[in-house]
């Protein structure tokens, strides 16, 4: 008797999942997406919505110190907003390094691992090339972080190692 293929036994209700690999959407993946997008949103909102145009302590044309915009609890945290945003972003990436998420199985692990290593290396190289020396450039977010850019680059590489532990 001939064996029937697995595709013929696949149930109609399994639209978002593969029985051999797991579901495409899981609670873990949803939490990871919320943390990743929340971290990115937090950093972007702080940089473009809260932070004064020339940074904290800058003096405007009227001779007074420029005040931050937006909600006061954001403005009171000042540079700690970057810490909150990057921790949420990196935590979301680390949570996604699990076999129940698309980034944590199959080719997703290798692609995510290499992408994190490359982005971390590029982050550090861009910092050293453009933001150190006699004529530093004004690159958004990187200009506020200063030497803390090294921690961000190393954080990307640490997340890459989290993906490397899932590589089979």
Per the prediction, the chain carries an average pLDDT of 84
The answer to the question of residue 43 being in a domain is yes
Quick: pLDDT tens for 144-160: 898 999 999 999 999 99
The answer to the question of residue 6 being in a domain is no
The answer to the question of residue 2 being in a domain is no
Q: What is the pTM of this model?
A: 0.80
Distance from chain centroid for Cα 107: 19
Structural domains counted in the chain: 1
Quick: pLDDT tens for 78-105: 889 999 999 999 999 999 998 888 888 8
Statement: residue 127 has pLDDT above 90: yes
Q: Look up residue 161 and give its two tokens.
A: 């190692």
The answer to the question of residue 95 being in a domain is yes
The answer to the question of residue 10 being in a domain is no
Statement: residue 107 has pLDDT above 70: yes
Measure the CA–CA gap between 156 and 89, rounded to whole angstroms.
Answer: 10
Residue range 4-31: mean pLDDT, rounded? 64
For 36, the domain range is: 25-164
């Amino acid at each position: 008797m001939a064996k029937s293929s697995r595709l013929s036994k696949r149930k109609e209700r399994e639209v978002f999942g593969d029985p051999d690999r797991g579901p495409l959407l899981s609670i873990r993946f949803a939490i990871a997406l919320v943390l990743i997008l929340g971290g990115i949103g937090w950093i972007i909102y702080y940089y473009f919505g809260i932070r004064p145009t020339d940074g904290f302590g800058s003096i405007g044309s009227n001779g007074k110190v420029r005040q931050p915009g937006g909600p006061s609890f954001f403005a009171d945290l000042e540079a700690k907003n970057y810490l909150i945003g990057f921790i949420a972003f990196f935590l979301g990436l680390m949570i996604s390094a699990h076999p129940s998420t698309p980034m944590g199985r199959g080719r997703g692990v290798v692609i995510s691992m290499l992408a994190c290593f490359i982005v971390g290396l590029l982050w550090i190289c861009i910092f050293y090339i453009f933001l150190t020396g006699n004529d530093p450039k004004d690159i958004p977010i990187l200009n506020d972080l200063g030497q803390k850019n090294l921690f961000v680059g190393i954080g990307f590489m640490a997340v890459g190692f989290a993906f490397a532990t899932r590589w089979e």
